[in-house]
Amino acid sequence: MAAVNYVAASRVYAKGAPPAVDALDLDIKDGEFMVLVGPSGSGKTTALRMLAGLEPLDGGRIEIAGRDVSDVQPKDRDIAMVFQNYALYPSKTVAENMGFALKMQHVHKDERDRRVREAARLLDLDDKLLDRKPKALSGGQRQRVAMGRAIVREPQVFLMDEPLSNLDAKLRVQTRSQIAELQRRLGITTVYVTHDQVEAMTMGHRVAVLADGKLQQCASPRELYDNPVNQFVAGFIGSPAMNLQTATLTDGGARLGGTVIPLAPGIRTAAARDKLSELVIGIRPEHMHLADAAARSADGFGGSGTDGAELTGEVLLVEELGADALLHVRLADGGGSVVTRTEGRKAPVPGQQVRFRVQPADVFAFHPVTGARLAG
Amino acid sequence: MTIIQDVVSPPVAQIGPRGVSRRESWQRRLPLLPALIYTIVVTQIPFLFTLWYSFQHYFWNEPGGAHWIGVSNYKEVFTDANFRSAVVKSVTMTAIAVIVAMLLGVALAVMLDKKFFGRGIVRTLIITPFLVMPAAAALVWAGPMLDPNFGLVNWLLQPFGIHHVAWLSNHAYGSVVLVMIWQWTPFMTLIVLAGLQGQASDVLEAAKVDGASAWATFRELTFPHLRPYIELGILLGSIYLVNAFDQVRLMTNGGPGTETTTLPFFLYQKVNYAFDVGGAAAAGVVTVILTIIVASFALRMFARVFQFEEAR
Amino acid sequence: MTAITATQAPSRTSRFAKNRARELTGKTGWTVLGWVVGIAFFLPVLWMVITAFKPESAAETWPPQFVFKPTLAQFRLVFSGMGPFLEHSAIATVGSTILVLLLAIPAAYALAIRPVKHWRDGLFFFISTKMLPIVAAIGPLYVIALKTHLLDSIWVLIILYAAMNLPLAIWMVRSFMLEVPTEMLEAARLDGAGRIREMSEVIMPVIVPGIVSTALICVIFAWNELFLAINLTVTNAATMPMFLISSVPQEGLYIAHLSAAATIASVPVIIVGWIAQRSLVRGLSMGAIK
């Protein structure tokens, strides 16, 4: 059983300074692939290093397999770590790099070699590479050696600190799936840090979003996408990012770009309760459907509830993605700019006036000050 | 669609890098020439003279100047026990001083790599011996420090039961080597420290996570990383120390007897006291040959130790 | 799942004090060791300076005196006697350093920026001259100096010190030049800068601190040099190291006076060395280590 628990774990660098990690409560199940994601400075790397034992805990505690390891040395925690810059031992060969930890544990040479070879096979590392030094390897090979060094140890927990960030784009996508598959095969609890939300969404069983040292939300990728708990998570997860605009509240909805968007009753009640006059509307680019130019509603109210609201605007820029196209649209009536996603072949051109529909169910609303999601 | 093969026209000449034009070549050489010519004139000409005089009988205090005697100066050099002793003394003194200075240097560098209060000041204190004028250091150690009757060292050693040692008379060799070590440890320390500070911190963290103790980390990772720096320090230190003169001249004057007569001092004596320019020249030539043999190994190591930064 | 808000302040920093205390005790141990070693190494220098303030009667005592009536008498004696020596040292040091820079900077350019075809051989040649012992040629050097009427003239020192420091300076300046970003040079070339312009407007401004450190290292070696001075000068060009030797008379008390002379002689270089501390390693390793 190698579950990991952060219990109100904190890290403060100087007395009185804002904490780098602020009372983090996170429960990671045995065998789970947990991704810690967030912008730089969010505390995700610090939280990982606290688990590794490379940063001391200034408050709370951390448990591995039910045991409090807060004061335990890194080497006694039975963890293995893959560093961002790989941190391979420059004076040692690949085989020696991978077998180093076992050597420190006084494992017999034959056993060491066996395990090293096995890990190399698992990672598609050619036997010829085993006798080379790190400086004679490519970036991708070094990355695999770093992973091999961790795998050989057969630890209770894998820690990975942005292991893909130094690879070129294509290699990154390839290695991403290899890591996810490897973890599934080995079944070892993994804590993975990244700033790239695409990595987080595709790899993690659950994703913990951090900002300013605090945990924002911890849930499955699908849950994060469908039910973000605050504005930060909503805007962070999903690519391209959710459109967030301030809109004034009116009867029945919120006014944005000259149109009133109908809001669910639950949102309206929550807004009224907090006596809000305006709120932040969030709509994902993929939920803004380009309306046919011919279809036009009679009333300027944006159509009936089932059809959703209709927004108009002028296209500023078209970004071709191949299958899709992203439109940067300036909304009418000073509504700000939004990004919408549309099918590649039918994309309009810059300067063109467009209309698109939005379903009320796809509209998120957030408190303008706290950022908390307003819902029923 | 057919693929048309060109089998008629002659093969295109292989394209290789063109290099720079003649004119450009000379323009590039120009800035180097002053330094090159200067060095050749000032360093090589004296050696040519040395070679010339080594075959001459030439004593200062004799009238009549120099005359050719072939290789008899060389015969004398090779049969002179004092010359052989001077070579041995130079080699052993340098070896001991360099090795001890490097051992201390590594220890001090490890210490200075750790953060502690006043580290910058301590570092400045430690490098000071290297900056003190060697002549001044030699005289201060000979007098106020090591004198049997009023020296500070004897006073400091009293609690340990050591009384009134006449360092320069009874332990001349050790005293001279001690001062060499005192002056050159800072040099070794700085070089090793540069090496320590160049180690990537995440590699050390990885070792921590992999379960290496502080000693294992040093033995397996830090020491291999430091090897080129240590080699460089030993190499450069040896080059400087083998030519060391000030300490011998000012502390012991080569004595007692020839106990501390190193090669530089030997040559100095030959010129200034024996007035034997010819003999000194022959000894000098032999010294240069010995140095060339050692230096060629050293230069090879130099090229390996330095990552030879490519010129633009 | 809702976000969990921060808990009360006390538990957030409950271990903070303990961690800081542990760090502090570790630091204290090294601090004590560091200072003990530092003072041990500095002690002879300290003793030299202290002794310089003693009257001779208090300098050659047993046990050595730590409490005494400090006097400037020794310094006054030193100042009255050292004039010409100081002047010669200054001229030889500054003169040779200027000469070195004038030769080394263009040479380094030719070995770094627009390199000569055999730049590796060039560098090796210069460093090989450093490895050859000057002591071997001292006899003939004396004869040459005599024949060219340069014996006991400040010029012989300037010329030889420059030759002594030139390899060091070339390697050092070269290592600084290699740090000029290639993009800067390429941008200048695209803007039409020729060699002179490239040197004066792009390279020199960037490497000025490097030139200064190189100059300081050369000053240190030239100022401290004894062997050539003692063999090739007598009175007209005698330098500070010679002055020190002359402070040791055949008889009479001289320790305090010697200490004062040693202090004055060493202080300029010690200060220069403290200032150039950072580049000391680069200079000593001929630019190999930054």
Residues C22-46: b if buried by 16+ CB within 10 A, e if exposed: eeeeebeebbeebbebbeebbbbbe
Question: Over 90: is that where the pLDDT of A295 sits?
Answer: no
Q: Does B209 touch chain A (CB under 8 A)?
A: yes
CA dihedral B56, B60, B64, B65 (to 10 degrees): 40
- CB < 8 Å to A11, chain C: none
Q: Can you point out the beta strands (E) in chain A?
A: 4-11, 21-28, 33-37, 59-64, 67-68, 79-82, 157-161, 189-194, 206-211, 214-219, 243-250, 253-256, 259-262, 278-283, 289-290, 309-320, 324-331, 337-343, 353-358, 364-366
> In 10 A of CB A23, how many CB atoms?
23
Distances (CA, A) of B96 to B103, B105, B133, B153, C133: 11, 14, 22, 21, 20
pLDDT at position B125:
94
ipTM of the complex model: 0.85
Q: Is C252 left (phi over 0), alpha (psi -120 to 50) or beta?
A: left
Q: B23 CA to chain C: closest CA distance, Å?
A: 12
User: Is B158 strand, coil or helix?
Assistant: helix
Q: Do A15 and C15 lie within an 8 Å CB cutoff?
A: no
C280 pLDDT higher than 60: yes
Complete DSSP assignment for chain C: -PPPPP--HHHHTTTHHHHHHHHHHHHHHHHHHHHHHHHHHHHHHHHHHHHHTS-HHHHS-SSPPSS----SHHHHHHHHHHHHHHHHHHHHHHHHHHHHHHHHHHHHHHHHTS--TTHHHHHHHHHHHHHS-GGGGHHHHHHHHHHTT-TTSHHHHHHHHHHHHHHHHHHHHHHHHTTS-HHHHHHHHHTT--HHHIIIIIIHHHHHHHHHHHHHHHHHHHHH--HHHHHH-SSSS--HHHHHHHTS-SSS--HHHHHHHHHHHHHHHHHHHHHTHHHHHHHHTTTS--
What's the pLDDT at A305? 42
Beta bridge partners of A218: A208
Interface of A with B in 181-240 (CB under 8 A): none
- Enumerate neighbours of B (3 or more CB pairs within 8 A): A, C
Q: What is the pLDDT averaged over residues C111-121? A: 83
User: Does residue A219 belong to the interface with chain C, where contact is any CB pair within 8 Å?
Assistant: yes
DSSP assignment letter at B257: T
Q: Please provide the size of chain A in residues.
A: 376
- In this prediction, residue B123 carries a pLDDT of 92
Interface contact C34-B150, CB threshold 8 A:
no
d(CA A281, CA A272): 15
**DSSP per position, A280-337:** EEEE-GGG-EEPPSS---SSTTTS-TTT-EEEEEEEEEEEE-SSEEEEEEEETTT--E
| Residues 6 or more apart in contact with residue B31 via CB below 8 angstroms | C106, C107, C109, C110
Q: What is the pLDDT of residues A305-352, one digit of tens each?
A: 456 788 888 999 999 888 889 999 998 887 788 898 888 787 788 988
* pLDDT for position C100: 97
Which among C1, C5, C16 has the least Cβ separation from residue A12? Answer: C16
Q: In chain A, what percentage of residues exceed pLDDT 70?
A: 95
Query: Rounded to a whole number, what is the distance in Å from the CA of C26 to chain A's nearest CA?
Result: 15
Is A25 in Cβ contact with C19 (below 8 Å)?
no
pLDDT of residue C12: 63
Strands A337-343, B67-68: pairing kind: unpaired
Per-residue pLDDT for A304 more than 70? no
Query: Quick check: C290 pLDDT over 80?
Result: no
For a pLDDT cut of 90, what percent of chain A falls above it?
Answer: 62
Tell me the percentage of chain C whose pLDDT exceeds 70.
Answer: 94
Confirm if B230 and B187 have CB atoms less than 8 A apart: no
Please tell me which residue of chain C has the smallest CA distance to B312. Answer: C113
Nearest Cα neighbor of A65 from A8, A1, A9 is A1
Mean pLDDT over residues A48-61, rounded?
93
Q: How far apart are CA A51 and CA C96, in angstroms?
A: 60
Mean pLDDT per segment of 10 residues, for chain B of length 312 residues?
Answer: 52 69 83 92 88 85 78 87 91 94 96 90 93 92 87 86 84 93 94 90 93 92 91 86 90 86 88 83 87 77 56 40
Of the pLDDT bands very low, low, confident and very high (cuts 50, 70, 90), residue C287 is low
Distance CA C285, CA C290 (A): 9
Interface contact A208, partner C, CB < 8 A: no
Cα B24 from chain centre:
38
Contacts of residue C8, defined as CB under 8 A and 6 or more positions apart, other chains included, come to: none
Residues 6+ apart with CB under 8 A from C94: C219
Amino acid found at B62: E
Q: How many CA atoms lie within 13 A of B15 on its CB side?
A: 1
The mean pLDDT value for A155-182 works out to 93
pLDDT of A257 strictly over 90: no
The pLDDT of residue B305 = 58
CA pair distance A279, A302, nearest whole angstrom: 19
Higher pLDDT, C147 or A190: A190
Take residue C165 and report the two structure tokens written for it.
């420091």
Tell me: the pLDDT tens digits for C37-73?
999 999 999 999 999 998 888 888 888 888 888 888 8
- Taking residue C63's Cβ as centre, other Cβ atoms within 10 Å add up to 10
Residue B203 DSSP SS3: helix
Min Cα distance B105 → chain A (Å) is 22
Question: What is the number of CB-based contacts under 8 A between chain A and chain C?
Answer: 55
Q: Is the pLDDT of residue C142 over 90?
A: no
Q: How many CB atoms lie within 10 A of CB B36?
A: 20
pLDDT digits 0-9 by tens, C174-220? 988 988 888 888 888 888 888 888 888 888 888 998 899 899 889 99
Contact A59 C12 (CB under 8 A): yes
Q: Is the peptide bond before A134 cis (omega within 30 degrees of 0)?
A: no
- Write the residue in C107, C141, C159 that is nearest to B31 by C-beta: C107
CA distance A302 to A143: 53
Q: B28 vs C137: CB contact, 8 Å cut-off? A: no
The answer to whether B209 contacts A79, with C-beta atoms less than 8 Å apart, is yes
pLDDT at B278: 84
Summary mean pLDDT of chain A: 89
Cα(B283)–Cα(B287) distance, integer angstroms: 6
Supply the pLDDT for residue A82: 95
A-chain residues within 8 Å CB-CB of C19? 56-58
What is the least distance, in Å, from the CA of A132 to any CA of chain B?
A: 16
| Per-residue model confidence as pLDDT tens digits over A79-112 | 999 999 999 999 999 999 999 999 999 999 999 9
Q: Do B39 and C51 touch (CB under 8 A)?
A: no
pLDDT value of residue A303: 42
For residue C63, cis peptide bond before it (omega within 30 degrees of 0): yes
CA distance B305 to A61: 48
Token pair in block for residue A204: 């993690």
- Distance in Å, alpha carbon of B222 to nearest chain C alpha carbon: 17
